[in-house]
Chain A
Amino acid sequence: QSALTQPPSASGSPGQSVTISCTGTSSDVGGNNYVSWYQQHPGKAPKLMISEVSKRPSGVPDRFSGSKSGNTASLTVSGLQPEDEADYYCSSYAGSSGVVFGGGTKLTVL
């Protein structure tokens, strides 16, 4: 049940694209397609942005996209907007070992 590895920070200017990585193992990220991404603003509950690697829940802008290659998943935010500034967490379902989250990435919109 080791945490997934994310970069602590990422940044980009309005209108640019930024990609956040999430690295796990063959027991979690690489072993199934249940990778999710969450956005969290200060003092708020997390919000699901991507589920099952690349599916966007209703209401999430199509500027947010997800992908996976091997043991690494990625979240790409295109056309950065000021309201995208937040913490982002990846997670992976790991069967009887439960769910493992990444350490989080603070996204700054310059």
Chain B
Amino acid sequence: EVQLVESGGGLVQPGGSLRLSCVASGFTFSSYSMSWVRQAPGKGLEWVANIKQDGSEKYYVDSVKGRFTISRDNAKNSLYLQLNALRAEDTAVYYCARGLGYGYVSWGQGTLVTVSS
């Protein structure tokens, strides 16, 4: 059974940093591109970033470029999202999802990031 388990969310002040993690199991992690998708409270889904299987290519939504960094450790079956210079508008549930975006079959349960003073 495919499982994606996110962690690392929490309350952080504006301008602060967080590192989100997503541990994968039930499939060959190194064979799949991975993505982060977020959802602000009461709002719709927003793609944040994706990364190819070997980490050689990374893509970001314009609003997070230069502030967020996606990475992976295939030896640890783990996906990461480093969030820097956080803003109130980054408050959201952050999901990791398997794939590039052709159709996300597998999602984690999400981790909540709240940016507030």
Contacts and interface: CB of A to CB of B under 8 A. Distances in A.
| Chain A binding surface SS class | strand
A99 B107 contact: no
Interface stretch (B13-21, B44-52, B74-82): B44-52
Contact of B44 (A3, A48, A99): A3
B96 to A, nearest CB: 10
A55 to B, nearest CB: 8
Contacts of A104: 44-45
Interface stretch (B22-30, B56-64, B84-92): B56-64
Interface in A71-110: 89, 91, 93, 96-104
A48 B110 CA distance: 16
Interface residues of B, number: 23
A1 B102 CA distance: 16
A36 B97 CA distance: 14
B107 A45 contact: yes
B101 A91 contact: yes
24 contacts: A1-B61, A34-B101, A36-B102, A36-B103, A38-B104, A45-B95, A45-B110, A46-B104, A48-B103, A48-B105, A51-B102, A51-B103, A52-B103, A57-B105, A89-B44, A93-B101, A98-B47, A98-B49, A98-B61, A99-B50, A99-B100, A101-B37, A101-B47, A104-B44
Given A46-B45, A48-B105, 14 more contacts: A1-B61, A3-B44, A38-B45, A40-B45, A45-B107, A45-B110, A51-B102, A55-B103, A91-B45, A93-B101, A98-B49, A98-B59, A99-B35, A99-B47
